[in-house]
Amino acid sequence: MTATIAKGLEGVLFTESKLTFINGTEGILTHLGIPIQEWAEKSTFEELSFALLHGKLPTSEELAKFDAELRANREVPAELLRAIASYPKGAHPMQALRTAVSHLGLLDSQAEDTSAEGRYAIGVRMIAQFSTIIAAIARAQDGQDVVAPRADLTHAGNFLYMLKGHEPTPEEARLFDIALILHADHGMNASTFTAIATASTLSDMYSSITSAIGALKGPLHGGANEAVMDMLDEIGTVENAVSYITHKLDNKEKIMGVGHRVYKYFDPRSRVLREYAAFVSEKQGKSHYYQILETIEKEIVERLGGKGIYPNVDFYSGVVYSDLGIKKSYFTPIFGLARISGWVASVIEYTDNNRLLRPDAVYTGAKDQHYVEIAQR
């Protein structure tokens, strides 16, 4: 019998989930059945996080309670802040985030609580604390003092405040909130799957999230948003865009921010972000970054659309983040700042009906061998 290998686990179904639905051929994404466009237009990151964790839209009382819980949990231990300040200058922010989250677990006396209630409580704390940790890493790496969180600001507004040291405008806070909503969950992507794989051994929440950060870091996943900005800097001018794409494709190299394992049409998140990228570009008097992206998008759709390759969520996000004054090395940690909600919700959902994840490989190595003494090799 010949075994069939699902390379990259493509199409392999390993669990049920009520959180996120994706139709990749039509470019549809919903959370709890509600289209991502409606979440982006009408909701907040706090509300979407509640919905993912509880499987329903909150009442106003439930939302106020959940929001208050997030606000009350923003502080992180001083010991962790001291450790973050001691990380080597120039460290990759995702390495720093991975280390800090693992350290946070060391300092949490309840870290080993793997009951549903324990996972929930740690998860909510981590959603709140991720922003404090990421902002602290960014400031420490820049040699600046860490800014303490403020409980009177929204989740998005407080992050920008801690990162930049001054309060964002309501428009900036809302723009960032929308970016967080768009990245909060996305089915069984590599980092969520990694978080679940770790949790399936009945390991603790901090281990799951630390594993997920490692998976998100790679340029084929969360690292692509930073790679898109590198590509834009390399292209430099709108006039160079088409020849750059041609050169890359001729050399069978990948274009960052396009293509997706699931979407074979426009990623709906990229459509929402394109609108905001266009808005910030107009504000800046037509940014050359946006114009390069528009040119690449046209080229990619014409040349690779037939192969199902279209812009993904990472294509336009960098332009929006840059306008908010966020450095490109922090784009991937910010992806984590949003995806933490999806990771936590998915781990809780999976472990509610847990089974150890343990796939298999087709053995293609040698058979019927015997140990050869080292002197005889």
Active-site annotation, residues: 260, 314
Q: What amino acid is encoded at 217 in this protein?
A: K
Q: Smallest gap, in angstroms, from Cβ of residue 68 to ligand ACO?
A: 31
Task: Write the binding mask 153 to 192 for ligand ACO: x where contact by CB under 6 A, - elsewhere.
Answer: ------------------------------------x---
Token representation of residue 156: 């998005």
Helix (H/G/I), strand (E/B), else coil: 127: helix
Nearest Cα to Cα of residue 95 among 157, 137, 140, 37: 137
**Interface pick for ligand ACO out of 36, 97, 224, 245 (rule CB under 6 A):** 224
Where in 297-336 is the site for ligand ACO (CB under 6 A)? 307, 309, 312-314
For residues 228 and 220, the answer to whether their CB atoms sit within 8 Å is: no
What token pair was written down for 58? 């909150």
Give the E-state strand segments of the chain in sequence order.
20-23, 28-31, 34-35
Q: Please report, as residue ranges, which positions from 31 to 70 form the binding site for ligand ACO (by CB under 6 A).
A: none
Give, in degrees to the nearest 5, the angle at Cα 213 between 210 and 214: 90
Bridge partners, residue 258, by sequence: 311
Pair 216, 339: CB distance under 8 Å: yes
Q: Which residue is nearest to ligand ACO (CB)?
A: 259
Q: How far is the CB of 212 from ligand ACO (least distance, A)?
A: 13
Minimum CB separation of residue 268 from ligand ACO in Å reads: 13
Please enumerate in sequence order all residues whose Cβ is within 8 A of that of 251, keeping only pairs 6 or more positions apart, or say none: none
Mask: binding to ligand ACO, 72-101, rule CB under 6 A, as x and -?
Answer: ------------------------------
Q: Of these, 27, 123, 149, 259, which contacts ligand ACO (CB under 6 A)?
A: 259
Structure tokens at 10: 């493509």
Closer residue to ligand ACO, CB minimum distance, 141 or 194? 194
- Rounded to a whole number of angstroms, the minimum distance from the CB of residue 8 to ligand ACO is 5
- Mark 7-36 with x for binding to ligand ACO (rule: CB under 6 A) and - for no binding: -x----------------------------
Q: With respect to ligand ACO, which residue has the nearer C-beta, 261 or 288?
A: 261
Class of residue 363 by CB neighbours under 10 A (exposed 0-12, middle 13-18, buried 19+): exposed
328 dihedral zone (left: phi>0; alpha: psi -120 to 50; beta): alpha
Task: Give the CA-trace dihedral at 93, 96, 102, 103, to 10 degrees.
Answer: -140
* From candidates 133, 256, 272, 348, binder to ligand ACO by CB under 6 A: 256
Task: Pick one of 145, 151, 220, 236: the residue that binds ligand ACO (CB under 6 A).
Answer: 220
Contacts of 206 (CB under 8 A, 6+ apart): 101, 102, 104, 105, 108, 111, 122, 126
Q: Using the rule CB under 6 A, is 221 a contact of ligand ACO?
A: yes
Q: Tell the smallest beta-carbon distance from residue 342 to ligand ACO (Å).
A: 11
- Per-residue DSSP letter, 148: P
Q: Toward ligand ACO, which CB reaches closer, 256 or 326?
A: 256
Residue number with CB closer to ligand ACO (128 or 313): 313
The minimum distance between CB 261 and ligand ACO, in angstroms, equals 4
* 337 part of the interface to ligand ACO, by CB under 6 A: no
Q: For ligand ACO, which is the closer residue by CB, 117 or 250?
A: 250
Question: Do 300 and 59 contact (CB within 8 A), yes or no?
Answer: no
Closer residue to ligand ACO (CB): 168 or 259? 259
Rounded (10°) angle between helices 78-86 and 93-106: 150
SS3 state at 40: helix
Binding of ligand ACO by 212 (CB under 6 A): no
Instruction: Supply the minimum distance, in Å, between the C-beta of residue 218 and ligand ACO.
Output: 9
Phi, psi at 35, each rounded to 5°: -60, 145
* Position among 104, 134, 258, 324 found at the interface with ligand ACO (CB under 6 A): 258
**To the nearest whole angstrom, how small is the minimum distance from the Cβ of residue 254 to ligand ACO?**
4
Q: Given phi > 0 = left and psi -120 to 50 = alpha, else beta, which region is 303?
A: alpha
Q: Which residues bind ligand ACO (CB under 6 A)?
A: 8, 189, 220-221, 224, 254-261, 307, 309, 312-314
